[in-house]
Structure 1
Amino acid sequence: MSASTPGHLRGVSGSSLDAVLSAVDASSDAGDELGTQLFGVVATLDSSPALRRVLTDPSTEDEAKRDLATSVFGKAVSASTLEVVRTAVGSRWSAGRDLTDGLETAGVVAILKGAADAGEVEALEDELFSVAGLVTSNADLRSALSDTTVPGAGKADLVGSILDGKAKTATVAIVRQAAHARSASFERTLQRFADLVAARRGRLLAEVRTASELGQTEHDRLAAALTARYGREVHLNVVLDPSVIGGLAVSISDDVIDGTMSSRLEAARRQLAG
Structure 2
Amino acid sequence: MKHARIAYKGAVHIVSEREGKLLLPDGRMLDEEEVVWLPPVNPGSTVFALGLNYADHVKELDFTPPKDPLIFLKGPNTFIGHRGETKRPISAKYMHYECELAVVIGKTARHVSRDQAKEHIAGYTVANDYAIRDYLENYYRPNLRVKNRDTCTPIGPWLVDASDIDDPLNLTIRTYINGELKQNGNTRDMIFSPYYLIEYLSSFMTLNPGDIILTGTPEGVENTAIGDEVITEIEGIGRLHNTIVSIDTPLISNQ
TM over 0.5: no
Q: Whose strand fraction is larger, Structure 1's or Structure 2's?
A: 2
Q: Whose helix fraction is larger, Structure 1's or Structure 2's?
A: 1
Is the radius of gyration larger for structure 1 or structure 2?
1
Q: TM-score, normalised by structure 2?
A: 0.29
Identify which of structures 1 and 2 has the higher relative contact order when contacts are C-alpha pairs closer than 8 Å and 6+ apart: 2
Q: TM-score, normalised by structure 1?
A: 0.28
